[in-house]
């Protein structure tokens, strides 16, 4: 998944906690949110706080879908070290209890 597709998917599914999100979708969206929040905080704490609030729900949703993609429940997002390990692991190539794998995107 490309950078732009990951951002679109993250905001299009901003409150979707079902299904799966691939590794590239999760990490591209994470990078984008980190860049935007850093840039917004450079303009002042009010802008930084506003950006953080704007990215809160979409970040949680894409994180939960990423946990689903690795075959784990979304509650693992509450444990930071485990969350990073699971987010970095490869996806389940076949369908799991959370649904079929995300379709590959053609670049």
- pLDDT tens digit string along 60-94? 999 999 999 998 999 999 998 998 999 999 988 88
How large a percentage of the chain has pLDDT more than 90? Answer: 61
| 83 in any annotated domain | yes
| 20 in any annotated domain | yes
| 97 in any annotated domain | no
Count of domains observed in the chain: 1
| 101 in any annotated domain | no
Which residues, 6+ apart, have CB-to-CB distance to 97 below 8 Å? Answer: 71
Structure confidence at residue 100 (pLDDT): 87
| 99 in any annotated domain | no
How large a percentage of the chain has pLDDT more than 70? Answer: 97
| 94 in any annotated domain | no
Give the global pTM: 0.86
Classify residue 52 by its DSSP letter: H
Closest to 103 measured CA to CA, from 5, 3, 4, 16: 5
The model's confidence at residue 14, banded by pLDDT at 50, 70 and 90, is: confident
């Amino acid at each position: 998944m490309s950078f732009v597709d990951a951002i679109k998917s993250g905001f299009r599914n901003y409150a979707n906690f079902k299904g799966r999100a691939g590794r590239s979708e999760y990490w591209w969206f994470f990078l984008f949110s980190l860049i935007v929040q850093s840039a917004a905080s450079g303009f002042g704490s009010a802008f930084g706080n506003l950006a953080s609030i704007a990215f809160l729900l979409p970040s949680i949703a894409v994180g939960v879908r990423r946990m689903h993609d690795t075959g784990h429940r979304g509650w693992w997002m509450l444990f930071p070290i485990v969350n990073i390990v699971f987010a970095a692991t490869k996806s389940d190539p076949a369908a799991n209890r959370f649904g079929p794998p995300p379709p590959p995107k053609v670049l």
